[in-house]
A and B are shown apart, each in its own frame.
Chain A
Amino acid sequence: MINFNEVSKIFKSDLITKPFIALDNVSFSVPEGSMVGFLGANGAGKTTSLKIIMDFIRPSNGSVQFSETLGKNKLEVFRNIGFLPERPYFYPNLTGEDFLIFMGQLSDMKVSDIKEQITLWSPRFKIDHALKRELKTYSKGMLQRIGFLSTIIHHPKIIILDEPLSGLDPIGRKELKDVIVEVHKQGKTVFFSTHIVPDIEEICDRVIFLKEGKLTYDGSVSALMKQARNQDYEISYSSNLEIDSALIKDKIKLPDNILKITVPSEHKDKLVQSIVQSQGIIHNLELIRPSLEDIFYHTGTRS
């Protein structure tokens, strides 16, 4: 649906300061029907990429292409996009309903259709009780929810969200994630940026990872996990057996004379056999599955 082709963005504020490369020849795509997480630490270039996609800023090099299913010109394409910026601050003196009607009208909707959508979605977002109140009286979570409602009210084909879960409490995050999943199940493509890895692991099928303005991974979450699986095992046991340290990667003493060792897959069977033969007890044997967080932030990135 979106092809981000060899895009670079260089910021140069004046003649004296050194240019800052926010994006360095980044290419990725967002396939139709997918739920894509856009991951990276703060300052990695996620928001800059989204601003380039939405034509708020222009790239120094490269281009962004939209598939014809979204439309043939910019206005048609934008009619099929729902975008929510990071921590938006809405017009404070408008009521929630005024704001939603305003956003719907900008997407060529009739007021009656907008009101129908508001009636349908506002209870789901738990803001139906506050629609007649001015936005300046809303909490941060309520603003985020009404913002998200405004991004889906016009039936877009793709939803682009910049850090939609930031600043929300755990319950608010869970509720919003559930709605994102629900909207995705209705056939919408979802592309959202975050620096919180478990969110991606939980709900995305694809992940794009940026680090310091460079693309380091673009592919499915499952393939990455499979590729990253190191096939090491953890064995917790009690035994007097002396194990050759060359066969193990790590050894930790636990209470009650229990030892926990990390062993490569090829030595696992041999070691288990040795422990059993020495009358030892095996308490636990487990394949180590690194989380996405381990892969990206602890064990480094992969191309």
Chain B
Amino acid sequence: MTLEKIFVIAKTTFKEIWKSKILVNVFLIGLAMMVITYVATEFTYGVPERVALDFGLGMLSLSSLGISLFLGVGLLSKEIDSRTVYMVISRPVPRYAFILGKIIGLMGIQVVNVLLLSMMTITATILLGGQVTELLIWAILFTLIESLMLLLVVVLISLLANTVLSVLLSVVLLLLGHVIRETQDISFVATNPVLVKLLDSYHFALPAFYKLNLKSEVIYKSKITSSYLFMSGGHGILYSLFLLLMIVYFFNKKNLD
């Protein structure tokens, strides 16, 4: 019964966002990306497919992270402000079912967004003489996991802070999560035991987004072991589950006033 309700809430959330025509904007972004790719290849010698992949994966990442950030931050706060949450949880619907349904619905939009832009990226790559590699599929999958992680980070923070602060903190965490590995490699940091400990401890609690970034490996056709791929993907999924548990816990405790 509860599963059905999660599905009903997810379906309605998906429908509501779908009808807001956000995906039309995504489609236009994709078209713009293809035009930019074409123009850029005119100024590039020898590797036009790399340009297509660079622009394509970049746009894919930006649009999916943008959707997570800006739709995620309002996922609950808008519901509380407009009192629609009261309509839903005054029915025999557990709070966790409500929040899971909302997140799954928004993730459905993310899947469509990623599929749409991936298809366009792959089309542009093939048209410019490139190939679809296994690593490209992994990179697309990792972008989806990364956007899920960011969505959950934003939703969790929005349960504890206001909208502006939630966006700011999430962007900070996203940036930190991407630069943490490079920061550890800086010799000043690597030779300072306190900083090493500090940055190591980052991995225990905060999201390591860099593990899900395969863009340069795809573009430069670097070799990556399957164990690295499974470990990184596993990290993303497990961390997302951890965030989901935190969200359910805090939403159950939250005073919806």
Known: A89-B84, A91-B12, A106-B8. A56 touches B91 (CB 8 A): no
> Which residues of the partner chain A approach B226 to less than 8 Å between Cβ atoms?
none
B16 in complex: contacting residue of A54, A56, A91, CB < 8 Å:
A91
- The reply to whether B90 and A51 contact each other, CB–CB distance below 8 Å, is no
Residue interface bits B88-110, CB-to-A below 8 A is 1, else 0: 11111110000000000000000
Known: A81-B90, A93-B19. A56 touches B82 (CB 8 A): no
- The reply to whether B84 and A108 contact each other, CB–CB distance below 8 Å, is no
> Which residues of the partner chain B approach A134 to less than 8 Å between Cβ atoms?
19
Known: A78-B92, A106-B5, A107-B91. A57 touches B257 (CB 8 A): yes
Q: Does A87 contact B (CB under 8 A)?
A: yes
Within 8 A of A (CB), among B153-191: none
Residue interface bits A169-193, CB-to-B below 8 A is 1, else 0: 0000000000000000000000000
Q: Does B221 contact A (CB under 8 A)?
A: no
- CB closest chain-A residue, reference B85: A56
Least CB distance, A257 to chain B, in whole angstroms: 59
- CB closest chain-B residue, reference A57: B255
A105 CA to B255 CA, complexed, in Å: 25
A79 CA to B2 CA, complexed, in Å: 13
- The reply to whether B8 and A90 contact each other, CB–CB distance below 8 Å, is no
Q: Does A121 contact B (CB under 8 A)?
A: no
Number of A-B contacts (CB under 8 A): 83
Q: Does A128 contact B (CB under 8 A)?
A: no
Least CB distance, A254 to chain B, in whole angstroms: 51
Known: A88-B82, A93-B16. A106 touches B255 (CB 8 A): no
Q: Does B83 contact A (CB under 8 A)?
A: yes
Q: Does B25 contact A (CB under 8 A)?
A: no
A207 CA to B84 CA, complexed, in Å: 28
> Which residues of the partner chain A approach B86 to less than 8 Å between Cβ atoms?
54, 56, 83, 85, 88
Least CB distance, A227 to chain B, in whole angstroms: 35
Least CB distance, B21 to chain A, in whole angstroms: 9
Q: Does B194 contact A (CB under 8 A)?
A: no
Q: Does A75 contact B (CB under 8 A)?
A: yes
A48 CA to B257 CA, complexed, in Å: 8
- CB closest chain-B residue, reference A51: B257
Q: Does A150 contact B (CB under 8 A)?
A: yes
Q: Does B227 contact A (CB under 8 A)?
A: no
Q: Does B256 contact A (CB under 8 A)?
A: yes
- The reply to whether B91 and A78 contact each other, CB–CB distance below 8 Å, is yes
> Which residues of the partner chain B approach A94 to less than 8 Å between Cβ atoms?
12, 15-16, 19
Known: A56-B257, A93-B20. A106 touches B88 (CB 8 A): yes
> Which residues of the partner chain B approach A92 to less than 8 Å between Cβ atoms?
16
- The reply to whether B15 and A98 contact each other, CB–CB distance below 8 Å, is yes
- CB closest chain-B residue, reference A76: B92
A85 CA to B8 CA, complexed, in Å: 21
A79 CA to B16 CA, complexed, in Å: 25
- The reply to whether B256 and A56 contact each other, CB–CB distance below 8 Å, is yes
> Which residues of the partner chain A approach B19 to less than 8 Å between Cβ atoms?
93-94, 134
> Which residues of the partner chain A approach B8 to less than 8 Å between Cβ atoms?
102, 105-106
A264 CA to B119 CA, complexed, in Å: 89
- CB closest chain-B residue, reference A81: B90
Within 8 A of B (CB), among A34-78: 48, 51, 54, 56-58, 75-76, 78
Q: Does A205 contact B (CB under 8 A)?
A: no
A78 CA to B5 CA, complexed, in Å: 14
Identify the A interface with B (CB < 8 A).
11, 48, 51, 54, 56-58, 75-76, 78-79, 81, 83-94, 98, 102-103, 105-108, 134, 147, 150, 154
Can you list 10 A-B contacts (CB < 8 A)?
A75-B94, A78-B90, A78-B93, A79-B92, A90-B87, A94-B19, A103-B91, A106-B9, A106-B88, A150-B87
Given contacts A56-B89, A88-B84, A90-B84, 18 further A-B contacts (CB under 8 A): A11-B257, A48-B257, A54-B90, A56-B86, A58-B255, A78-B90, A78-B93, A79-B92, A88-B86, A89-B83, A91-B16, A93-B20, A98-B12, A102-B12, A106-B8, A106-B92, A108-B1, A154-B91
Identify the B interface with A (CB < 8 A).
1, 4-5, 8-9, 12, 15-16, 19-20, 82-84, 86-94, 255-257
